[in-house]
Amino acid sequence: MVSATKSGTSKESINQTNFKNYEIPYFDIERQNFWIEKLKNTLGLKDLLEDKLVHQQTLLKKLRQQILQEAIEGKLTAEWRTQNTNVEPARELLKRIAAEKVQLVKDKKIKAQKPLPPITDKEKPFDLPQGWEWCRLDQLIYESPKNGYSPKTVDFQTGTKTLKLGATTSGKFDATQIKYVNKSIPKDSFLWIKSREILIQRGNSIDFVGVSAIYYGEGNNFIYPDLMMKLKPVNSISEVYLHHVLMSGTCREYFRKNAVGAQKSMPKINQAVVSCALVPLCSEPEQQAIVTKVEKLLALCDQLEAQITQNKTHAEQLMQAVLKEAFANNEAETKKSSPLLPFKPKGSDYYKRTLLAAEIVDQLKNEPTLGHLKLQKLIYLCQKSENMQLPVNFLQQAAGPYDPQMARSLDKQFYIKGWFQYQTGEMLKYKPLPNAGAHRPDFQKYFSDVQTGIQAMINLFRNAKSDHIEIVATLYACWEKMIENNELFSNETLINRFYLWSKEKNRFSEEVLKNTISWMKDNYIFPNIAK
């Protein structure tokens, strides 16, 4: 029907002749009633699924906020503090920052900031762990925040790139959200954004006022608009930690309450509001520990978000699949139109599997603990944790999940490509060949979206012995099976499944298994469905 539309005008239309000549398949009345009922049932199922997905997105949004809130309250790193009791308290860090800024003012490298009001007990939203301190945001940045530039004329073809508000609305910097302004900006202007600087929306809808994002690009590429402010954290403050504080529920609520015009027009926060925002400060090492913990948890949330989005697509495809089935001429066409085809690996999928294995071997080739078993277990855990579809067939073998055919194939591919040669009986099993490392460009190309998770997994098991990773991979497989069977989870049930895996598993004590389960939970290594 679309092909019969008339183009070339502001509106497209079809004429009466084309409409009358359009052919509609005819079904007898019984077949019509059958498909009407099936479509009604499918529509009801689709609506129910979409309602559940919306509810899941709401819960996921709350989970993200809970992660940030527990991070800035020090709850995520409570165990870390018990293991690191000798770190300097935050008050000493504040003294060093203040001394640094005084010297920079004397050297005329930064401008002096206005005196800040003292922090009262009434202002403090919650109690801090020992060694932490409350401070004002201005104490942690080199200069007080400034508003950006508000252009009067815009040229969409040439000029200076300035950001739109959409560049930070998601909480992550989006360099595609730009426009061009007809104004030349001096190279030394504060309007140019530099790496590590944080942008805060000072004006937008009440839902987005105060939202921040970090810029990591090169300087003098973008200027920022009047409805944004720019912060430059001092060197001893993690910009990521500060960003998490600004995006937490506590800070967002503070910005919303102090926005001018929130009820009548576009709400705005001024420099004084931003400068005086309260920041719970901890030592530099704990900042990094918090960032590592939060980034990993938020990455898991991203995985869940992607799965929800995919399920939404499937919900839309569900109705289309039924309609196609109704009008298909034969069963083969119906199967062809199904949106839920099983995974069928192609040649490129086998190559991706080889790339992943090559990256693991390249990083661990000098570790005596790396062999077929450890490599297999790392591939298994990377694939599971990052929800990758790779052509693997892990079987229930005595040493845990294992794909013997893949082991032989990888050794062969490594040798053919001149990357590595497997050496039986040698301490270091993988000998680098002349082309070792040549896999990396393609690895980064195919695995860019999950590279962080893969690297984290490699780092976790870098020095791990075969027994440890065997236990982890087997527990993971047993845990996943329990979830598939809707079994109520407990450590005892998981351990029982572990021992039922193979008689060989009896060589591991219950104490070792309990400690390993605890370690897996601490490092978030368990099936995605359970996360």
Q: Which residue has the higher pLDDT, 119 or 206?
A: 119
H-helix or E-strand containing 280?
strand 278-281
C-alpha dist (Å) from residue 139 to 90, 212, 243, 374, 387: 12, 18, 15, 48, 42
Handedness of CA 459, 461, 462, 464 (dihedral sign): positive
- Residue 181 pairs in a beta bridge with 154, 160
pLDDT of residue 11 exceeding 70:
no
pLDDT: is 79 or 45 the higher one? Answer: 79
Nearest-5° Cα angle at 460, 196 to 85: 70
Average pLDDT of span 283-292: 95
Give the Cα separation of 159 and 203 in Å (integer): 24
**Domains of the chain, first to last:** 111-282 (3.90.220.20), 347-530 (no CATH)
Task: Say if residue 8's pLDDT is above 60.
Answer: no
Task: Give pLDDT tens digits for 127-159.
Answer: 999 999 999 999 999 999 988 887 665 655 667
Helix (H) or strand (E) holding 212: strand 212-214
CA 105, distance to chain mean position in Å, is 39
pLDDT tens digit string along 484-512?
A: 887 777 889 899 999 999 888 999 999 99
Tens digits of residue pLDDT in 390-442: 888 888 888 889 888 888 889 999 999 999 999 988 899 999 999 999 999 99
Listed in sequence order, the residues at least 6 apart from 505 whose beta carbon sits closer than 8 Å to its beta carbon are: 474, 498, 499
DSSP 487: P
Q: Residue 119 pLDDT more than 90?
A: yes
pLDDT for residue 328 is more than 80: no
Q: What is the pLDDT of residues 209-238, one digit of tens each?
A: 999 999 998 888 899 999 999 999 999 999
Taking residues 456-460, report their average pLDDT: 92
Identity of the amino acid at 493 = T
Buried/exposed 255-280: b ≥16 CB within 10 Å, e otherwise: beebbeebeeeebbbeeebbbbbbbb
Mean pLDDT lowest among 115-129, 248-262, 464-478, 505-519: 248-262
pLDDT at 91: 96
Rg of the chain taking only CA atoms, in angstroms = 29
What is the overall mean pLDDT for the chain? 85
d(CA 402, CA 381): 12
Q: Could you tell me how many residues make up the chain?
A: 531
Give 31's pLDDT tier (boundaries 50, 70, 90): low
Among 503, 483, 502, which residue's Cα sits nearest to residue 494?
Answer: 483
Rounded to whole angstroms, the Cα distance separating 512 from 327 reads 59
The pair of three-digit structure tokens given for residue 420, joined into one six-digit string: 């590595």
Is the pLDDT assigned to residue 377 strictly greater than 60? yes
CA distances (Å), 483 to each of 83, 466, 473, 500, in order?
Answer: 33, 26, 15, 17
**CA torsion angle 250 255 261 265 (round to 10):** -90
User: Do the beta carbons of residue 414 and residue 361 sit within 8 Å?
Assistant: yes
Q: Where are the alpha helices (DSSP H) in 144-257?
A: 239-247, 249-257
pLDDT at 336 exceeding the cut of 60: no
Q: pTM for the complete prediction?
A: 0.56
pLDDT at residue 127, as a whole number: 96
Q: CA-based diameter of the chain, in Å? A: 90
- At 16, the pLDDT band (50, 70, 90 cuts) reads low
Q: Summarize the confidence of residues 16-40 as an average pLDDT.
A: 65
Whether 319 shows a pLDDT value over 80: the answer reads: no
Average pLDDT for 305-318: 76
**Close Cβ partners of 57 (under 8 Å, ≥ 6 residues apart):** 305, 308
* The predicted structure's pLDDT at residue 185: 87
In this prediction, residue 150 carries a pLDDT of: 74
